[in-house]
């Protein structure tokens, strides 16, 4: 598309250090999925080769240097934006996607006519049944509230399937813990404005987050990731996606002082995290119920016999993700985070350690939990 390199330069910068990633569903074909991109031209070439066939994803944040792409040190990363995702949960879409993915796992041309038929059905749900409308409307609502507070709208993009993205830009800023600040902001915005489609799993690890690249085509629907404004109605947005034309991106139009707000949150949440860490260390409960740090057990190991293998594992991180085991909310995408010292659900906000989990999960009292551990292999 004409003007795409210029768009990427305005959106990502003239020089940057990010990974381009194209996850694949192929089971039997060796396929390189990650590449280093440093210029708008190299990014454009990867998008051109993969758009419509594979997801086209990129690190949200510039890592600052090629070496830091491996080290992933937050000290060198350039934090100049926040990315939020709005996504609808739809069983019909999920069913079509599953069948398409199963076919794609054997190759792009495997049962091509059936793949095309499923793609048409997927597009029909998105375009005519307007299944992404709730996400788009909630993103617009968020944008209006955001502008009232911070002076400019965030940049909004239709995702090419059943949701949309919002980016706000600011002066490159250092944070003690950006993940804590963005998570706190997203959780409170979701609750305050009743944004059901705001996906909190996206902000769990903002530093490692990948986002879908503007003007790439969704690998299953064939619809393009395109910008839209709060004035655009649903049909206009989908027409843009069906017939994408690169629009000028003027970053200053989406620039705010949002970083100052995040810095205040960052200071408070980093302090609270330190306090919680100290409290957990001094009040750690042993497996048998006594207070003794030596008996502490890695929760990632403890949860496996109860919940099975995690839905998502991150070898370079100290946590895993499950679908929430508590039945008081719908959790189609993993939002139950288990780390070394405990767990937290980004959907229902339940949190604690293994002791609290057993009480809530099985509706046990403390005595039943003690009896369980007195007879179990975890006894110290």
In DSSP notation, 71-117 reads: H--TTT-B--EEEEEEE---HHHHHHHHHHHHHHTT-TTTTHHHHHH
CATH 3.30.70.3300 in the chain: give the residue spans: 75-256
Q: Where in the chain is the domain with CATH 3.90.580.10?
A: 283-375
Which pair of structure tokens corresponds to residue 98? 């599953």
**Helix or strand holding residue 188 (H, E):** helix 178-192
Return all residues near 193 (Cβ < 8 A) that are at least 6 apart: 138, 141, 142, 145
The b-or-e profile of 96-108 (16+ CB within 10 A means b, else e) is bbeebeebbeeee
Contacts of 283 (CB under 8 A, 6+ apart): 291
Angle between helix axes 91-104 and 112-127 (nearest 10 degrees) is 160
DSSP at 295: G
d(C-alpha 269, C-alpha 183), whole Å = 10
Nearest to 142 by CA among 190, 187, 106, 209: 190
Which pTM does this prediction carry? 0.74
Strand, helix or coil for residue 200: helix
Query: What sign results for the dihedral spanned by CA atoms 333, 204, 154, 42?
Result: negative
Q: Cα Rg for the chain, rounded, in angstroms? A: 22
pLDDT in tens, the chain (380 residues): 679 999 999 999 999 999 999 987 765 666 788 999 999 999 999 999 999 999 999 999 999 999 998 887 888 999 999 999 999 999 999 999 999 989 988 888 889 999 999 999 999 999 999 999 999 999 999 999 999 999 999 999 999 999 999 999 999 999 988 989 999 999 999 999 999 999 988 877 777 889 999 999 999 999 999 999 999 999 999 999 999 999 999 999 999 999 999 999 998 887 776 665 555 544 444 444 434 333 456 888 888 888 888 888 876 678 899 989 887 777 777 889 998 888 988 888 888 888 888 888 888 888 888 888 776 555 44
Query: Are 157 and 218 contacting, i.e. CB atoms less than 8 angstroms apart?
Result: no
Rounded Cα distance between 265 and 47, Å, is 36
Give the Cα separation of 100 and 118 in Å (integer).
Answer: 7
**CA–CA separation, 149 and 142 (whole Å):** 11
CATH for 75-256, among 3.40.720.10, 1.10.10.10, 2.60.120.10, 3.30.70.3300? 3.30.70.3300
Annotate 34-76 with DSSP letters as a single string.
EEEE-SHHHHHHHHHHHTTTS--EEESSB-SSTTHHHH--TTT
Contact 112, 77 (CB under 8 A): no
Neighbours of 230 (CB within 10 A): 14
What distance in Å separates the CA atoms of residue 337 and residue 312, rounded to the nearest whole number? 10
Q: What is the pLDDT of residue 329?
A: 73
What local confidence, expressed as pLDDT, does residue 282 receive?
45
Half-sphere exposure of 123 (CA within 13 A, CB side): 18
pLDDT at res. 283: 46
Question: Under 8 Å CB-to-CB from 339, ≥6 apart: which residues?
Answer: 299, 300, 318, 319
Task: For domain 283-375, give the fold.
Answer: DNA Primase; Chain A (3.90.580)
Structure tokens at 315: 């070898």
Of 99, 95, 165, the closest CA to residue 125 belongs to: 95
Q: Would you give the end-to-end CA distance of the chain in angstroms?
A: 64
Give the pair of three-digit tokens for residue 113.
Answer: 């006519």
């Amino acid at each position: 598309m004409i003007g795409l390199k210029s768009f990427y330069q305005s959106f990502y910068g003239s020089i940057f250090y990010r990974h381009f990633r194209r996850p694949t569903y192929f089971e039997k074909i060796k396929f390189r999925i990650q590449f280093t991109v440093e210029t708008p031209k190299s990014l454009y070439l990867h998008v051109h080769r993969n758009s419509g066939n594979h997801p086209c994803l990129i690190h949200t944040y510039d890592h600052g240097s090629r070496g830091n792409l491996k080290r992933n040190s937050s000290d060198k990363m350039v934090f100049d934006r926040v990315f939020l995702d709005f996504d609808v949960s739809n069983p019909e879409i999920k069913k079509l996607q599953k069948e398409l993915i199963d076919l794609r796992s054997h190759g792009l041309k495997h049962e091509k006519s059936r793949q095309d038929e499923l793609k048409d059905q997927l597009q029909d749900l998105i375009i005519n049944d307007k299944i992404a409308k709730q996400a788009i409307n909630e993103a617009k609502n968020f944008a209006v509230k955001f502008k009232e507070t911070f002076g400019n709208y965030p940049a909004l993009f239709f995702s090419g399937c059943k949701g949309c993205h919002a980016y706000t830009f600011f002066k490159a800023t250092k944070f003690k813990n950006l993940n804590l600040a963005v998570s706190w902001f997203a959780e409170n915005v979701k609750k305050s404005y009743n944004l059901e489609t705001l996906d909190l799993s996206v902000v769990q690890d903002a530093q490692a987050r990948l986002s879908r690249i503007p003007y790439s085509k969704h690998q299953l629907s064939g619809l393009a990731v395109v910008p839209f404004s709060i004035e655009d109605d649903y049909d206009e947005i989908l027409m843009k996606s069906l017939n994408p034309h690169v629009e000028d991106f003027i970053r200053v139009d989406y620039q705010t002082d949002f970083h100052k707000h995040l810095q205040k949150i960052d200071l408070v949440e980093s302090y609270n995290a330190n306090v919680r860490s100290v409290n957990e260390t001094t009040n750690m409960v042993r497996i048998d119920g006594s207070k003794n740090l030596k008996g502490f057990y890695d929760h990632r190991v403890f949860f496996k016999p109860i919940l099975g293998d995690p839905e998502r594992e991150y070898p370079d991180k100290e946590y895993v993700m499950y679908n929430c085991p508590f039945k008081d909310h719908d959790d189609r995408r993993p939002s139950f985070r288990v780390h070394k010292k405990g767990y937290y659900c980004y959907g229902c906000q339940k949190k604690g350690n293994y002791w609290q989990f057993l009480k809530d999960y099985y509706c046990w009292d403390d005595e039943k939990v003690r009896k369980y551990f007195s007879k179990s292999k975890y006894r110290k």
